[in-house]
Amino acid sequence: MTTMIAEVYDALVSAGADDTKARDAAKAIADYSRDIAEVKANLALLKWMVGFNLAFTLVMLWKVFS
């Protein structure tokens, strides 16, 4: 079951959109918001991975050249 954003639905209906079209648009925006949340979670993981890689590389370079 897909949820919808009630504020978007209400705004579209008050702007004169058809009930069905407003409901579908609000559901589409809710799905899009969920997709963005997944991308943000993956981005946080990638930031940690890059940070660890950078720290490890710097330690190895320090060991090699000192």
Helix residue ranges, H only, the chain: 6-14, 19-65
Dig out the tokens for 33 from the structure. 């918001």
Among 10, 3, 59, 1, which residue's Cα sits nearest to residue 29? 3
User: How do the domains of the chain map onto residue ranges?
Assistant: 6-65
Type of residue at 28: A
> pLDDT truncated to tens, each residue of the chain (66 aa)?
567 788 999 999 999 999 999 999 989 888 888 888 889 999 999 999 999 999 999 999 999 998
Residue 44 sits at φ, ψ, to 5 deg, of -65, -40
Type of residue at 39: V
- pTM for the whole thing? 0.56
